[in-house]
Structure 1
Amino acid sequence: MSQKILMVDDEADLSKLVAHHLQKEGFEPLCVSNGSDALKALAKQPFSLVILDIMMPGEDGLQVCRKLRNKEETASIPILFLTAKDEESDKVVGLELGADDYVTKPFSPKELMARVKALLRRTERKESASSYAYRDLVMDVPRHEVSASENRVTLTAKEFALLEHLLKNKGKVLTRDHLLNTVWGYDYFGTTRTVDVHVRRLREKIPLLTDAIETVPSLGYKLVDEE
């Protein structure tokens, strides 16, 4: 069964172009032109990924992203922003709200398809994956669930993958480049700033990680050993 991808953009010609390339790659696209219709579509059926414009009439892409991340049913859906807003500050805001990737217009359809496939590959979970415990934190990888002090924590797909990798490598210094290549994949086109944003979000969502994830100056991060 082909994976369903939701394309949200008020530019009809651009949506048709992206949908054409998605179909060529074997995906099943659904195009909507505004945030309200996007939320309705997501409430009716599951999607493997959302491609989201930022500047749209009514609810913009940032508002839609925030709503998706705040709902348990849609919190882990990969979100790729496709937008004309190309300032670094715009990208950081998008990533902080929970987007997994950010592509600026004009764009190469070939590069966009590569990013879509990379996101989908990185969010696939292995059935043989294990579970982890760290202090009051418990991660159940097969169920894609995390709890801290017995309270359920909702993480995006990338936040979950980043935390899993930190738990696997407890006590080791992991460079930003290593985390970017391992969690996002060698074909990811982002920068190491992406890692910093996701680490900050983990610390905000799981307070025990504020001190547990140690920043190693000029290198990266380390999940400190349990005492």
Structure 2
Amino acid sequence: MNNEWISRWREGRIGFHRDAEHPALVRHWPALGVEPGTKVLVPLCGKSLDMRWLAAQMHPVLGIELASLAIEQFVAAGGESSRYRQGDFEIWRQGSIELWCGDFFHFHTQQAADLGAFYDRAALIALPPATRQRYAFHLAQLMPPGARGLLISLTRAPGDDAGPPYSVPADEVRELFGANFEVTHLEDGEPEDSGWQESVWSLQRRGPRADRE
């Protein structure tokens, strides 16, 4: 999975990237009630412009991305930045945005002490079925009780299991996150010509934290 993801960036196979902030983020984030100044985690962030939108709403942003090329392209489009290393991660800082280059599953609670919200537009749907349970648990481990987040999932006609992106139906979203989050379905997008349909969810972390890995 890791090598495939890096290859996609090197080869420019990044059809999932949007050239503007996601309209569902703009539409639904304000209703979550996340206070300005709350740091937002963006797993598998790529070079998403959603991070710049969140920063413009006065949120410090911490994005985690495996492909260094994605981070380099994001930073190149935004002006001056600094770069340093912490543990397993190479970190770029640009304004109020930190981009951590490395494996999301190697990012742990000691590094997440100041996180208070999250945004997942392309993380869950990038992961194969066997990894999604681990992802949901690890995200719960990183979020303090009461933390809120927005999740955008994708579904496709049954039987088409190829990916990424992967089809993650509503029942699976509820099953994956229901133990540690209050899960609320917000909307379904219009079906695309390709057969994909987006769904938007709000999640609020229950307490206490999940048992540590």
TM-score by length of 1: 0.36
**Larger helix proportion of the pair:** 1
Q: Which protein has greater RCO, CA pairs closer than 8 Å, 6+ apart?
A: 2
TM-score after normalising by structure 2 = 0.38
Larger strand proportion of the pair: 2
